[in-house]
Amino acid sequence: MSADPLHRAGAPPRTPTNPPPSGSGTSAIEVRRSTRRRRTVSAYREGDRTVVLIPARMSEAEEQRWVSVMLDKLAAQESKRVLGDAELAERAERLSGQYFDGRARPASVRWVTNQNTRWGSCTPSEGSIRLSHRLQGMPEYVVDYVLLHELAHLLVPGHGPRFWRLLEAYPRTERARGYLEGVVAADRLPHVPGARSE
């Protein structure tokens, strides 16, 4: 989603900067409308904001839909960059501060390649969190959800009501769980050898 220099120059009509949808990871979204742009929509990061370029004729409903689509595309693109263990630990610290008032303090957070039946695991007595390498390349909000899930186990070991109440603070919990359920379901689909798509 690279910037379109033709539409960055000059002063195209702009929608005022809005707060981003939950979990987008940016502080602001700016929608720029262009009379030159007919059908294409693009987006890019500009400092701490996300700029979405759309045709001027789009309705408000179309604008909202496309902003959401483009934020997801940017997040997916950015998540393809594999975080190292140190970055993963920093992310866990930030999420703990944001959603659990910093109470969940893991001693270690790292990627592992030996978890093929679960997305993450936590050993509360050691304060260690491990995430499956299969999460690498998934959208940022999905990785954040799994990290928060494991961080919550540092505060509540089981999966009782108190545990799930902690995760209610993260606004993209249901969406992330749905994404992971979709991945699991897709893995179970039969793969027919030699089948061609029509």
- Provide the residue-wise pLDDT of the chain in tens; the chain has 198 residues: 333 322 333 333 444 444 444 444 444 889 999 888 888 898 887 766 788 999 999 999 999 999 888 888 887 776 666 678 888 999 999 999 999 999 999 999 999 999 888 999 999 999 999 999 989 878 888 999 999 999 999 999 889 999 999 999 999 999 999 999 988 888 776 655 544 433
Token pair of 130 as six digits: 């491990």
Question: What pLDDT is stored for residue 117 in this prediction?
Answer: 86
Q: Would you state the pLDDT for residue 48? A: 66
pLDDT value, residue 84: 80
Cα diameter, the chain: 60
- Three-state SS letters, the chain: CCCCHHHHCCCCCEEEEECCCCCCCCCEEEEEEECCCCCCCEEEEECCEEEEEEECCCCHHHHHHHHHHHHHHHHHHHHCCCCCHHHHHHHHHHHHHHHHCCCCCCCEEEEECCCCCCCEEEECCCCEEEEEHHHCCCCHHHHHHHHHHHHHHHHCCCCCHHHHHHHCCCCCHHHHHHHHHHHHHHHHCCCCCCCCCC
For residue 80, the model assigns a pLDDT of 61
For residues 48-63, one letter each, b for 16 or more C-beta atoms within 10 angstroms of the residue's C-beta and e for the rest, the string is eebbbbbbeebeeeeb
Give the per-residue pLDDT at 116: 82
pTM: 0.58
HSE, side-chain direction, 13 A CA sphere, residue 174 = 3
